Amino acid sequence: MADETQAPETKLTSTKRRWAADGKFLTGRIARPETDRLPPGQHLVRDWPVLDLGQQPHLTHETWRLDVTGLVENPLSLDWNAFQALPQSDSLSDIHCVTTWSRYDNNWRGVSTRDLLDRVMPKPEAAYVMLTSFDGYTTNLPLADFAAEDAILATAWEGAPITRAHGGPMRLVVPHLYFWKSAKWLQRIDFRAADSAGFWERNGYHMRGDPWLEERYSGD
């Protein structure tokens, strides 16, 4: 299965596994997004750090494709032109990375996940999604989180196409969860009845990843 793909060991993966084992960065403080814009243990940055599993797939608009599979009434396989023909939306949100940096006020453009859901129509038994990227990366989400009001399949950031380093030509953005849940270079969205762990979730990280609850690691 694609969600069992093992990425090559890198300095980042070995370091982050050690952080999970040690519980690094945990403060034990609970914050709330209604009143606290910066989650516990986070610090602000002005740039946008690049983190990946050591490989950045080279995708063109001609080779890119998004497949939507699993428990949906209308499975899709979209090339770039078909994806661009879907309703386009703008969104403003913050980024919170589990490595403790946050960046405020990011402007995105792309396809709202809610507009995609209207098109594919998940079946009643669908409760989770598994996201698979072109580099083999996977991560899991409850359907309710994927369907958040500000979640977006983003193709542009700050008025320009998202760069390859940041997951272009299209990446998911789910602002209310730690950013490892916002899969870069998204290739497939699979709707499922049961939850299962993705790459970082199998390596010591939380199954959901709420920054305000400090859900950094499994067992938190």
Distance CA(1)–CA(112), nearest Å, equals: 27
pLDDT of 7 higher than 60: no
Q: How does pLDDT run across 185-199, given as a tens digit for each residue?
A: 999 999 999 999 999
CA-closest candidate to residue 212, choices 177, 182, 181: 177
What is the domain-level CATH number for residue 162? 3.90.420.10
- Confirm whether 58 is domain-assigned: no
Residue 198 in domain: yes
Q: Can you tell me which residue has the tokens 């939850």?
A: 195
Q: How many domains does the chain have?
A: 1
Give residue 194's domain range. 64-220
Of 184, 201, 202, 181, nearest to 96 by C-alpha is: 181
Assigned domain for 43 exists: no
Q: What does the alpha-carbon distance between residue 11 and residue 161 come to, in Å, rounded to a whole number?
A: 29
In the chain, which residue ranges form alpha helices assigned H by DSSP?
Answer: 11-22, 80-84, 113-120, 143-146
Residue at 41 is within a domain:
no
Q: Looking at the domain assignment, is residue 130 inside a domain?
A: yes
| 109 within a domain of the structure (yes/no) | yes
State the Cα angle at 147 between 207 and 6, rounded to 5°: 40
pLDDT tens sequence across 69-85:
999 999 999 999 999 99
Please indicate, yes or no, if residue 22 is contained in any of the structural domains. no
CA quadruple 144, 114, 216, 56: dihedral sign: positive
Instruction: Please state the pTM of the whole predicted model.
Output: 0.88
147 in a domain, yes or no?
Answer: yes
Angle, CA 176 vertex, CA 172 and CA 178 arms, to 5°: 75
